[in-house]
Amino acid sequence: MVGIIDRYIAKLFLGFFVGGLVVFVTLFVTVDFMSNYVRSDAPFQSIVSFYLLSLPALIYQMMPVACLMGVVFTLGSLGKTNELVALFASGMSLARVSLPILSLVVLISSVSFFLNDRVVPILNQKKNYVRYVEIEKKPGLYSTVKTDRIWYRSGDALYNIKTLSQDTATANGLTMYQFDSSWRLAQMITARAVKLNGTTWDLSEGTVTIFPAESNVPKSQAFKEKRITVAEDAKDLQSSGQTTESLSLKELSHFIKRNKESGLDTLRYEVDYHAKFSFALAAFVMALIGIPFSVGKARSGSAAFGAGVTIGLAFAYWAFYSSGLTLGKYGALPPVVAAWAPNVAMAAFAIFALVRMRR
């Protein structure tokens, strides 16, 4: 009997969850299209490709609020038809009634977290290509979104690059500073364009400036083409042009470690790294928050009430979550605290509300 009830509740939740996901994703795509591309002269096929490539990431972002909606409408529906009262009368607690729902949320979150780490970064790279190359016709912005200038250190060399394209393995605006063992600037190389071939780089239209130890007068020489060999780990520079949304957790962790060892600022990337984990728990926290609010008003439950609760709680959570990340990126909070404080606080609030309901 209990198994039948669990399947019934789970089926009810999945229906509301999928319905909410479809509504939120459709609404976002429609508004975004009307705001940005309804008057665009870009090929329609490119716009369709852009949104198809955006779909997995968008679904992942909308999953917490869809889970919240599923919880609110499921328990509200059970309460409105007095099925919830019957379940309580049969000896089932609120925790037991919510168990199949929370179990599904954990399963959905785990699978989506795995896909978001392995699949979404690849699709985001392709999405950025379609957007900046095919739609907006600004190929120079591709792979450099949210990155003004790229700094990277490898051994005794420090690299500064204006733009970097991972797909074509090319860079523009290179300045390479080579230091000696006492960390004195020994040589500086500039180049307009660079072709990255592993540890071999082909430079075009630049200059080589040498700073002799015995003289204060640097010596410069221009070149049209020049080939240099860089250290093995300098190949990691190619991942620097990607945004955090285009990097897996492993790649982002490696990127942070390399730049931290070089003494470069990685605060923003550390916040994003921890946020990838905390966001995976957001759906569970949102579902937990929805339980006391939906049960507390179960008998007066309606579609309007359920929608109102969903919007209100989702807005409160996202305001808290976004504020935490912003404070973290500006250094007001440690990265771990910035990413996890909203989840901890909202989960504590949900538990407090559930405990009060039992009194």
Tokens found for residue 155: 């051994």
**Do 152 and 125 belong to one domain?**
no
Q: Does residue 88 share a domain with residue 6? A: yes
Which domain does 206 fall in, by range? 147-242
Asked if residue 357 has pLDDT above 90, the reply is no
Q: What length does the chain have?
A: 359
Q: Are residues 122 and 153 in the same domain?
A: no
pLDDT tens digits along 45-65: 999 999 999 999 999 999 999
Residue 97 lies in a domain: yes
In this structure, are 235 and 348 located in the same domain? no
Out of 20-29, 37-46, 337-346, which region has the weakest mean confidence (pLDDT)?
37-46
Residue 260 belongs to a domain:
no
Q: Are residue 19 and residue 125 in the same domain, yes or no?
A: yes
Number of structural domains found in the chain: 2
User: Could you tell me if residue 25 is inside a domain?
Assistant: yes
Average pLDDT over every residue of 178-184 = 85
pLDDT of residue 85: 86
In a domain, 195, yes or no: yes
Same domain, 10 and 43: yes
Average of per-residue pLDDT across 80-100:
89
| Same domain, residue pair 102 and 173 | no
Q: How far apart are CA 349 and CA 295, in angstroms?
A: 16
Q: Span 75-88, mean pLDDT?
A: 87
pLDDT score, position 169: 75
pLDDT at 316: 86
Residue 265, in any domain of the structure: no
What's the pLDDT at 326?
A: 92
178 with 210, same domain: the answer is yes
Q: Which segment, 107-116, 240-249, 301-310, is predicted with the most confidence on average?
A: 107-116
The answer to the question of residue 316 being in a domain is: yes
For the segment 267-312, what is each residue's pLDDT rounded down to a tens digit? 888 999 999 999 999 999 999 988 888 875 544 445 566 667 777 8
Q: Verify that 71 and 173 share a domain, yes or no.
A: no
In Å, how far from its chain's centre is CA 103?
24
pLDDT at 21: 95
Taking residues 153-159, what's their average pLDDT? 79
Q: Are 89 and 159 contained in the same domain? A: no
Classify burial at 316, counting beta carbons within 10 Å of its beta carbon; exposed 0-12, middle 13-18, buried 19 or more.
Answer: middle
**Which of 190, 222, 242 marks a domain boundary?**
242
Same domain membership, residue 156 and residue 111: no
The pLDDT of residue 180? 86
Q: Buried b / exposed e across 139-160, counting CB within 10 Å, b at 16+? A: eeebbbeebeebebbbeebbbe
Give residue 282's pLDDT: 93
Three-state DSSP state, 197: strand
Does residue 211 fall inside a structural domain?
A: yes
Share of the chain above pLDDT 70, in %: 85
Phi and psi at residue 184, to the nearest 5° = -105, 135
pLDDT tens string 210-234: 998 777 788 899 999 999 888 765 5
Highest-scoring range by mean pLDDT, 152-161, 302-311, 313-322, 337-346: 337-346
Calculate mean pLDDT across residues 195-218. Answer: 87
Q: Which of 242, 262, 281 is the last residue of a domain?
A: 242
Per-residue pLDDT tens over the stretch 125-155: 888 888 878 888 866 555 543 344 567 777 7
Question: Please, what is the average pLDDT of the chain?
Answer: 84
Which residues, in sequence order, are bridge partners of residue 229? 200
**32 and 104 housed in the same domain:** yes
In which band, very low, low, confident or very high, does the pLDDT at 239 lie, cut at 50, 70 and 90? low
Establish if 261 belongs to a structural domain. Answer: no
Give the DSSP H or E segment for 236.
Answer: none
| Ramachandran class of 80: left when φ > 0, alpha when ψ lies in -120 to 50, beta otherwise | alpha
